[in-house]
Structure 1
Amino acid sequence: MQNTSDIKWKKITPEEVKWHMKQLRNSATGPDNIYNRCLTNYTSQLIDHLTLLFNSIVDVGYIPSMWEKANIILLLKPNKDKQQLSSYRPISLLSCLGKLLKRIIKQRLLLELKARNILPQHQAEF
């Protein structure tokens, strides 16, 4: 098996960023207060800036601390007593930019695992 330091990570391309931005669903904002709908109304300038940002993050290996935080909200379960704490389920609202970068990396990892025939056929993908 190759040492991970021997593997050269290709730069994230604007096309990758654009494709993944098109896949975003509208969702609530996380701690960074950036909405997915702001990202889906992109310009080429925004894509270029995000591509540069994502490549810098990958090169340095540092995730912004804001992207590692979550806002937690409680949603009332259907037909449950709102006076009971057990009637609620917690939802984590994460950074939209952080989720976008994670999707790009996840897609690349899956492609690499499949290309190297490392991923078992019955392995579930998340």
Structure 2
Amino acid sequence: MWTRRELTLQARPRGFHLVTREVTGALPELAGVRIGLLHLHILHTSASLTLNENASPDVRDDFETWANAAVPEDLPWTHTLEGADDMPAHIKASLMGPSLTLPVGDGRLALGTWQGIYLCEHRDRGGARSLLATLWGE
């Protein structure tokens, strides 16, 4: 079985946001997959995806603190037409990555107890974000 769908995540402010429920809720076909994979690809260059701690919001805040320290806005960037947060957002998105491939088992994502999908929003106001979800399995 193969399914491909574009998902739209609601707009969020800059930061690292847990979106596991939003993603799985938009993919009812997951329930019918005994074994397989879900590939998620974000269709933007200033936001990214990662998998990490799903319980403590402190972890998401610390990710944001690290990302802003690692790629500060106050460097002499050349690409500035879209605002001071744009070029740093592109670099952060490249560092974090645009996609995840996740295992599926017995009708759900086969993640670790404390794992969740993050939308990493690197712009102050990035708007709604689109993901291309490809699910395959049996």
* Same fold, judged at TM 0.5 (above): no
**Rg bigger for which structure?**
1
Structure with the higher helix share, 1 or 2: 1
- Which structure's residues are more often strand, by fraction? 2
Greater relative contact order: 1 or 2 (C-alpha under 8 angstroms, separation 6 or more)?
2
With the length of structure 2 as denominator, give the TM-score of the two structures: 0.29
